[in-house]
Copies of this chain bind each other. A is one copy, B any other.
Amino acid sequence: MDLNYSAEELSFRDQTRAWLEANLPKDLRDKVANYEHLSRDDLLRWHRILAKKGWVAPAWPKEWGGTDWNVVQRYIFEEELGYVGSPPLIPFGITMCGPVLLRFGTEAQKKRFLPRIYNGDDFWCQGYSEPGSGSDLASLKTKAVRSGDHYVVNGQKIWTTLGHYADWIFCLVRTDSSVEKRQEGISFLLIDMKTPGITVRPLILMDGAHEVNEVFFEDVKVPAENLVFQENKGWTVAKYLLGHERMNTGRIGASKRELAKLKDFVSQRNIVDVRFKDRLTRLEVELMALEITNLRFLDTMRRTGQPPGADVSMLKIKGTEIQQGLTELMMQAEDPAEAAAIAGSLGPRYCSMRKTTIYAGSNEIQRNIIAKMTLGL
C-alpha cells in the first residue's frame, strides 16, 4: 500500500502545475478567484490556450488531439486545473459531444465537428432536461418529425447551461411516441443554434446570475445528417454519456483551493472560536477522505482497466456536500458587520452552490443509483 503518487506522477504533476501557473492569464485567474462572471470570450480564450498546448481534450484519441495520458495523469491534470483556479473547461463539447461523436458519429460528423470543438471554434451546449423531465429524463417530449432530408423539431429544453453562448446544441428528442418503452423512441440530434425557430430565454438563478436558459424550438429544421447513431437509439447514446467519465465529479482540486483560501481568511481574521475551527477541520478531513477514496477508485480503474462502478456516485455526493460546506463556512467566517461584502460576493456564492447537489443528477438520484446498482436494492 502506497498512498503517494509515483515519482513519474509527481513529476507530471509538477510540470503540469508549473505550466498552468505560467500560462493562465492573470485576469482570468483573478476573475475565478473572485467568483466573477466569466464571459464567452473568457471561456474560449482559456480553451484555446489549452488547445494550442494540446491539452484541451486529454481523453480523446491521439489522432484527434488527445494526449495519451493514463487515467491517473488525466485525473492529476483536472485536479491541477481546479487547484490553480482556471476557468471551467465547459464540458459540453470536449467531454460530452466529442466522446459521443468518437463512439457513435460518422466519419463525416467527426471530421466536421471534432476539430472545431477542439479548437474552440464552436461553443456547445446540452439539450437534455425539459420542464416535465428532470430526473426522469426518458419522459422528454420535445419532438422531431422526419420530413424529407431533415427533422422538424418542436418543444422546449430547460436548465440549458450557457445556452446563450452556444453555437450548437446536442439534444435528446422524441422521434417515436408510439413505443411502449419510452426510452426506445428517443434520438440524439445536433442542432445549429442559429437555425430559425430557436429562442433562448434566460433563467436567472437566485444569485442573480445568468447561467442557465430555456431553449424553445418552433418548427426548427435540422438536416437529417445531424442525427447521431440511429433514429430511436438516442437512449443508447445518452447512457454511454452518463457512464462515461465520472472520476472528477468530486472537484477535489477546486475544493482544496477554496479550503486554503478559507484557512487564510480565518487566520487573517484571527478566528479562534473552537466551533468554527471544528467545522473547518471536519471539512478538511472529509476532503482528505474523499481524495483518498477518489484515488482508490482510480487505482482500481488503472489496475483493472475497467470503468468504475456505480459507487463512483459517492464522489459526486461527498464532493458537492464539501463544496457547499466550504461556501457556508466562508460566509460564517466573515465579520457580520461586513454585510455588504456578504451581499456582494459570499452570499450569492453560497446561494449559487446550492445547485451542486441538484444538477448533473441530483444527490437523491445518485443515492438511488448506488442503492440499485451497487447495493442491489
Contacts and interface: CB of A to CB of B under 8 A. Distances in A.
A107 interface: no
A303 interface: no
Interface size class of chain A, counting residues whose CB lies under 8 Å from the partner chain: under 10
Contacts of A275: 274-275, 278
Nearest to A273: B274
Interface string A272-289: 001100100000000000
Closest 3 CB pairs of A and B: A274-B274, A275-B278, A274-B275
Interface in A250-279: 274-275, 278
A278 B273 CA distance: 12
4 contacts: A274-B274, A274-B275, A275-B275, A275-B278
Contacts of A278: 275
A242 to B, nearest CB: 29
A278 B276 CA distance: 12
A275 B281 CA distance: 14
A274 B274 CA distance: 7
Interface string A217-233: 00000000000000000
A43 to B, nearest CB: 43
A206 to B, nearest CB: 25
A41 to B, nearest CB: 48
Contacts of A274: 274-275
Interface in A275-326: 275, 278
A275 B277 CA distance: 11
A285 to B, nearest CB: 15
A274 B278 CA distance: 11
A101 to B, nearest CB: 44
Nearest to A278: B275
A272 to B, nearest CB: 11
Interface string A323-345: 00000000000000000000000
A320 B278 CA distance: 27
A278 B274 CA distance: 11
A190 B274 CA distance: 59
A132 to B, nearest CB: 20
A275 B274 CA distance: 8
A332 to B, nearest CB: 15
A364 to B, nearest CB: 16
A281 to B, nearest CB: 11
A137 B278 CA distance: 45
A290 to B, nearest CB: 24
A278 B275 CA distance: 9
